[in-house]
A and B are shown apart, each in its own frame.
Chain A
Amino acid sequence: MISPPILQKYGPQLTSHSKQIDQAIANKGQQDSLAAAPLRVLLIDDLPERAALVEQGLSDAAIVHTANQVHGRALLDLIAEIQPDVIIVDCYSPGRDSIESLRTVAQNNPKPIVMFVEEENPSGFQQAIDAGVSAYVVDGLTPKRVKPVIDVAIARFKVMDGLRTELKKTKDDLAARKVIEKAKGMLMHKRGMTEDEAFAAMRTMSQERGSPMKDIAENVISILGLLEG
Chain B
Amino acid sequence: MNQHNLAIGFARLSDCAVLTVAKERGLFEKYNLNVTLKRYKSWAAMRDGLANKVIDAANMLAPMVVASAAGISPYPEIFTSSFAFNLNGNAITVSNALFQSMQHISPDTMLRRPLSAHGLKHVVDVRKATGQPKLVFAHVYHYSMHAYILKYWLASAGIDPDQDVELVVIPPSQMVDSLRAGQIDGYCVGEPWNNTAVLAGLGHTLITSSEIWSGHIEKVLAVRHSWANQHEDIHLALIKALLEAAVWVDSPNNRLTAAQMIASAEYVDAPLDEIVSSLTGKNRQTGGNLRQDMPDFNVFHRYAANFPWISQAKWILTQMVRWGQLTDDVEFDAAASSAFQPEIYRKAAAELNIAAPTINEKVEGAQEHAWVLKEATQPIAMGANQFIDGRVFNPAEINSYLNGFSNSSASRASEASKTDIEVQLN
Contact = CB atoms under 8 A, between A and B. Distances in A.
- Chain A interface residue bracket vs B: 35 or more
Interface in A97-132: 97-98, 100-101, 104-105, 119-122, 124-125, 127-131
A148 interface: no
Contacts of A91: 45, 48
A162 interface: no
Contacts of B414: 215, 218-219, 222
A149 interface: no
Interface in B163-187: 167-171, 173-174, 177-178, 181, 183-184
B41 interface: yes
A93 interface: yes
B425 A97 contact: no
A112 to B, nearest CB: 15
A105 B325 CA distance: 9
Interface stretch (A31-39, A67-75, A137-145): A67-75
Contact of B74 (A97, A127, A209): A127
Contacts of A7: none
Given A98-B169, A101-B142, A219-B414, A71 B178 contact: yes
B73 interface: yes
Contacts, number: 123
A98 B170 contact: yes
B74 A124 contact: no
A171 to B, nearest CB: 10
B170 A71 contact: yes
Summarize A's interface: helix, strand, loop or mixed: helix
A176 B176 CA distance: 45
A191 B424 CA distance: 13
Contacts of A94: 41-42, 171, 173-174
Given A94-B41, A209-B417, A222-B418, A128 B48 contact: yes
A72 B54 contact: no
A128 to B, nearest CB: 5
B51 interface: yes
20 contacts: A72-B183, A73-B138, A73-B184, A74-B181, A92-B41, A93-B41, A97-B140, A97-B171, A98-B169, A105-B142, A121-B54, A124-B51, A127-B52, A127-B74, A128-B75, A131-B73, A211-B417, A219-B421, A223-B418, A227-B426
* 6 smallest beta-carbon distances between A and B, as pairs: A72-B170, A124-B52, A101-B169, A131-B74, A130-B73, A94-B41
Interface of A: 71-74, 76, 91-98, 100-101, 104-105, 119-122, 124-125, 127-131, 133, 191, 205, 209, 211, 215-216, 218-220, 222-224, 227
